[in-house]
Amino acid sequence: MAGLASTIYNSLIRKNTVFLTTIFASAFVFELGFDSISNRVWDSFNQGRQWKDIRHKYVQAEEDEE
């Protein structure tokens, strides 16, 4: 435990530049994950109500008419 903590401290936190870079990189990764998860939650909450869910009905009907 102590070894792991000191490894993290020495590699990521000790230098301020490295610490800041780590913060920005993790912010980037966190944003990607947060956006994709919240999109998935939104899609599952609105299942069957969005255009992409009902598109196949209308687009196929138009093609049949033609």
Partner 1 sequence: MSALTSRSSALLRTCARQRLAPIAATSMAAQRRGKADQATSSFDSPFRGETSSTKIPSFASYKSSKGETSNKVFQYFMVGTMGMLTGVGAKATVQDFLVNMSASADVLAQAKVELDLSAIPEGKNVIIKWRGKPVFIRHRTADEIKEAEDAKWESFRDPQPDSARAKKPEWLVMLGVCTHLGCVPIGEAGDFGGWFCPCHGSHYDISGRVRKGPAPLNLEIPEYDFPSETSIVIG
Q: Tell me whether residue 13 or residue 60 sits nearer to partner 1 (CB atom).
A: 13
Rounded alpha-carbon distances, angstroms, from residue 25 to 6, 20, 22, 61: 21, 9, 5, 47
Applying CB under 8 A, which residues contact partner 1?
Answer: 1-2, 5-6, 8-9, 13, 19, 22-24, 26-27, 30-31, 34
Select from 46, 48, 47 the least CA-distant residue to 57.
48
- In the complex, least distance from residue 64 CB atom to partner 1, rounded to whole angstroms: 25
- In the complex, least distance from residue 32 CB atom to partner 1, rounded to whole angstroms: 10
